[in-house]
Amino acid sequence: MKKKILGVFSVILVLTLCVFVYNPKEVSAGVSDKVCTEKEAYLMFADQQWVSNIEQHLATEDPWDYTACSSAGGIKDGNCLGSGSFEINLSRLGVSEDAEVSVKKEEVVDIENTLKTSDTSGSLRFWQIVKNNGTGSTLTDGKLYVNHGKWSNGTDTDMDRALPNDPAQMQSASFSDSISQIARSDYEVSGNKVYAKIQIKRSYSSSAFNSIKGNAVNVTGKDGQEHPVLYAPLLYKVTFNVCDTQQQPEVKNPTLTIRYWYDEVGGKKAADDHSETLASGSKYDVTSPSISGYSPDKDVVRGTMPDEDVVINVIYTPKTGGVAMGFIWFIGLGALGYGIYYYNRTTREQEEI
């Protein structure tokens, strides 16, 4: 009898231990299937090269092969130094910090066919995006564009210093043929941010150089002097495989940026930029700053925020209209007064007759 009781007790004890050791509810708690999708980012290379430097190398080597790095430390012994200068912020595409991110595909894409719109060429739009976005990741027309954090010499952190103001100038001073290729790429994933370090090889030929050198633009160098510069733009599309447990909305806190210029976009700044983060679908109503002697083309900027960043340009021009209208009123009142005087004098003369 005692053996039977002991046997039953042993069975109960074993079953109890099994329940504690293997509890299906506890094992599955907190685990959910991840949804895997593809996310794309466009890295924008805006390398500049002094005309004198190209001429010097082509005199002894044609074509001249030139290797550059996107990272701030430059290049040594064929290796890019410093940290990655492209900060790809995938949170702008709704990727959470807990996502698993890996690089799936990399390719150089044609700038013209990728960026052109119904009213703007792709090459011009490339430079407009570079100038408007500054450094870092920005969502424009639903696509994630990423600019340099620094130039490869590690000194020019100000995009306005490194590039002229007029995007059309940079367009005309850019090589249209494909002289660039990616030699090496390294990525460091940290949550929903990816830090990219890219090595580019460019091959300059005399024929390509001679066809474009007349379009060079002047840029102020470290010596304080202006030097003619040419550009070799490159658009690099990186496709990521993203497995995420939280499929967040694309963008719910886009940024509104209003830039104020004298005479033309990309020219002299008229006032500090207005920038604020707004909820998608919210209204904005921003009065343009008052500047003595100038009138804005938009007195008030109004609209509704979409699910992506918005950049609006306000142009200030001299107040010539007020002076002109005053002159016209002066002439008009003078003519009216003279007409009345002439009418009265003619009437008196006829009465005297």
Distance of CA 271 to the CA centre of its chain: 20
For residue 255, is pLDDT > 50?
yes
What sign does the CA torsion over 121, 127, 133, 136 have? positive
Poorest-pLDDT segment among 4-18, 140-154, 338-352: 4-18
Q: What is the 3 state secondary structure string of 289-333?
A: CCCCCEEECCCEEEEECCCCCEEEEEEEEECHHHHHHHHHHHHHH
Which tokens hold the place of 218? 């002047």
pLDDT digit string, tens, across residues 112-163: 989 888 888 888 888 888 877 766 788 877 889 988 754 433 444 444 445 6
Task: Give domain limits for the chain.
Answer: 35-244, 251-346
pTM of the model: 0.63
3-class secondary-structure state, position 242: strand
pLDDT digit string, tens, across residues 227-254: 898 988 889 999 999 998 755 555 467 8
Q: Alpha helices, DSSP H only, in the chain? A: 2-21, 24-28, 51-58, 111-115, 122-133, 159-162, 167-172, 206-212, 320-352
Q: What are phi and psi of 155, to 5 degrees?
A: -115, -35
Burial class (CB in 10 A: 0-12, 13-18, 19+), 255: middle
pLDDT digit string, tens, across residues 58-70: 999 988 998 888 7
User: Which whole number is the average pLDDT over 94-100?
Assistant: 89
pLDDT digit string, tens, across residues 295-337: 999 999 998 888 888 999 999 999 875 555 566 666 766 666 6
Question: Which numeric CATH code is attached to 251-346?
Answer: 2.60.40.4300
